[in-house]
Amino acid sequence: MRGERIDEEVVIRIWERRLFDELRTTDGRPVTVLSPGERREGGPDFANAHILIGAEAVKGDVEVHVNASDWYSHEHHLDPLYNNVVLHVVMWDDGVSLLTRKEDGGRIPTVELHDKLRMPLEEILKEMRVPSAKPCAKAGEKPERVLNLLDQLGWERLLEKVDLMDEMAERTGFEGAFFRRLMDALGYSANRGPFSELAGMVEPEELMGRELREVEAVLFWRSGLLPDPDDRMDEETRGYVIELLEAVEGMGLSDERMGREEWRFAGIRPLNSPARRIAAAADILSRSEESLFLPFLEVVSRYSSGDLKLREAIRLLREPLRVETKGYWRDRFDFGKRLGRPCPTLLGEGRAADIVVNVVLPAVYLWAAETDNSSLSEAVSEIYHAHPKLGENRITRSFKPILKGVKIDTACKQQGLIFVYKTFCSSGGCDVCPLASWNL
């Protein structure tokens, strides 16, 4: 079968569906796949994989190739974006697996799949060309049951986020936990880790209400993205950098900084670049007088008391998160690098809505639980279940062929789909999936 060309997507799907028996690394260590990870676009193929290699439990990225040598032909050994890869999965080891190294010099274990497949590769290819029916293939035939189920599972996902923030609040206090969850959301999946690290390096209370330039200076300095002034910079960039550095000096900031190499730029849309998201965070902090969280609590409280209609409450929850472009960042995505055309917002309506659903509503629900305020809890539930659906992502799009005719029209139902994917699809749990025909 080695002579037949196969696409990398075939190997990715074999790994994702775990169509293999007991694996070993090419240097002989047993490998147990607890979770193959989550597919993502750009960078390593899977994130957040959980694997046992020998007796060691590792978590991180997984990169998949047809041949082991593709690691070098694709130049991943030169790209720091791949330094978090913990396992290299290949169909065939063509003699370089033991030499697979990352940009930081670390060596990556490799597993070869071709002789560990649960069925001949020819059969797997045939099945992929004519896919067999999945247990959830007929879920779309019971739309009312599916919609009710997704509402329930969407609520379960919100409660997971409530628990996560509760754990953070025990360590950092409520305001600190809310700030960290906000920064995490600004980072998307690609820069979630760096944004969380940056959030841990600053005290939001010390930045709220300060001049925008001072807040920008702190965040860009701590992030490690603020460059030194250079004569080769354009005049606007050089002037802006000098202003930020003067603010850093004036505030007497320590030298504690992240490294630029920790941030991911490759594969990121320029409008979503880390620098623009940091500028957005600075604007939100600068506009907040005493608390990041309390303005959102006030809106939900007003809705709970009947002072606001549902649609108006949803609009007002997004308002503090929308950031119009000011000054330098109107047409930049990094220091010295221009966008193709100016963009009026650093944080638009769509991303603001994402943060309301994923950060704000869980935070208000936690507050309601901590203060034993049942009317506030009910208000969160009403807003969450009525919130219009968010933008599509890879996970929600993947359910469209299965749920034809089922109208996913709210953010809660979308969150239910994400719950199904992360809980069942990504771990091969089709037999116990609530969308399986025998469970509906």
Domain ranges of the chain: 8-129, 163-387
Other beta carbons within 10 angstroms of residue 345's beta carbon come to 17
The answer to whether 97 touches 88, Cβ cutoff 8 Å, is: yes
Confidence band for 190, pLDDT divided at 50, 70 and 90: confident
Confidence band for 202, pLDDT divided at 50, 70 and 90: very high
Q: Which pLDDT does position 132 carry in this prediction? A: 54
User: Residue for token digits 């001072």?
Assistant: 214
What lies within 8 Å, CB to CB, of 74 at 6+ separation is 65
The answer to whether 7 touches 17, Cβ cutoff 8 Å, is: no
Q: Which pLDDT does position 425 carry in this prediction? A: 83
The answer to whether 110 touches 68, Cβ cutoff 8 Å, is: yes
254: left (phi over 0), alpha (psi -120 to 50) or beta: beta
pTM of the model: 0.77
For the residues 304-311, what does the mean pLDDT come to? 96
How many Cα atoms occupy the beta-carbon half-sphere of 345 within 13 Å?
12
Q: Which pLDDT does position 4 carry in this prediction? A: 52
Q: Which pLDDT does position 6 carry in this prediction? A: 86
CA nearest neighbour of 365 among 156, 160, 162: 162
3 state DSSP class of 94: coil
Q: Which pLDDT does position 3 carry in this prediction? A: 42
